[in-house]
Structure 1
Amino acid sequence: MLYKFKSRATADLILLEPHGRRLLQAMGKEPTAQGIVTAAQIPAAVAALEAAVAEEERRKAEAAQNDAMDEDGAVESSGPEQDTVTLRQRAAPFLDMLRRSAAEGQDVVWGA
C-alpha cells in the first residue's frame, strides 16, 4: 500500500505504507487509508514530527555511545555505520509540504 499526501500548495508526496504510517503516528494521527491535517493542525503536526526526529537522534547517539564503550569503559573502534534512512530524512519532504501548506493556509490530505 502507498500513502499519497496532497496539498494545493505543493506537489503530491508518495510514501510506502510503513514510512507513511510512521510519520502519521509521530504526528498523533491514525494511520487510516484516508485523512486530513487541517491548516490549523499543521503547527502541532510539525512540532510533533520535529520532536520525534530529535528523540530518534538522541536514542541513536546514546546507542552509538554505548556501543563504543567496552566493559572496562575504554573506547573501542566501531565498524562503519549501517546504511539506513533516518526519520529526519524520511520526514524532510513531508515537513516541507506541511510548512508550505501552512504558509498558504491549505490542508494536507492523504489517501491510499
Structure 2
Amino acid sequence: MIITFKSAAAGDVIMFRDVAHRLMQIMGKDATDQGIITIEQLPEAIRCLKTAISEDKQRLTAMPEEERPLKEKGAFGERPFVSLYQRATPLLDLIEWAQKKQKPVVWGV
C-alpha cells in the first residue's frame, strides 16, 4: 500500500506504507494511514528527522562497504536496500517547505 504526504507548500511525497509508518514513528506521530503534522508540530518533526538522518549516515559510514546490506524485507518481499536517510530526505524537504510557508502536512492512502 502507498501513503502520500501532501502540503500546499510543496509537491507530494509518495512512500510504501511500511516506510511511511517508520518515518511517522521517528517524528513522534502515530503510524496511521491518515494524519497531519500541524504547523506547531513542524519544528519537532524536522528535528526528529534530521537526527535520524544524521545517525543513519554515521552508522552506514562506519560500516565497511562489504557489510552494507544489498536487500531489505518489505511488505511485498525482498527489495533493494535503501537507507533511512535516502527515504527520509524527500519528506524532510517537504516538511521544511511547509514550515517556511506555514502550511500543515497531511498524509493518506
TM-score clears 0.5: yes
Equivalence for 2:94: 97
Equivalence for 2:66: 79
- Alpha-carbon displacement from aligned partner over 1:24-45 (angstroms, at most 9, x marks no partner): 0110101111100011111110
- Alpha-carbon displacement from aligned partner over 1:73-111 (angstroms, at most 9, x marks no partner): xxxxx6374443111110111000000011000000001
Relative to 1, partners in 2 of residues 1:111 and 1:59: Cα closer, same or farther, differing over 3 Å?
same
Amino acid at match of 2:26: A
Q: Show structure 1 runs of 4+ deviating over 6 A.
A: none
What residue ranges of structure 2 are gaps of 5+ in the alignment? Answer: 71-80
Q: Secondary structure at the match of 2:43?
A: helix
Amino acid at match of 2:21: R
What residue ranges of structure 1 are gaps of 5+ in the alignment? Answer: 69-77
Q: TM-score, normalised by structure 1?
A: 0.78
CA RMSD of aligned residues (A): 1.9
In 2, Cα distance between the equivalents of 1:35 and 1:60?
31
Equivalence for 1:29: 29
Percent identical pairs in the alignment equals: 37
In 1, Cα distance between the equivalents of 2:57 and 2:94?
22
Paired positions, count: 99
Equivalence for 1:41: 41
In 2, Cα distance between the equivalents of 1:99 and 1:41?
12
Q: Secondary structure at the match of 1:6?
A: strand
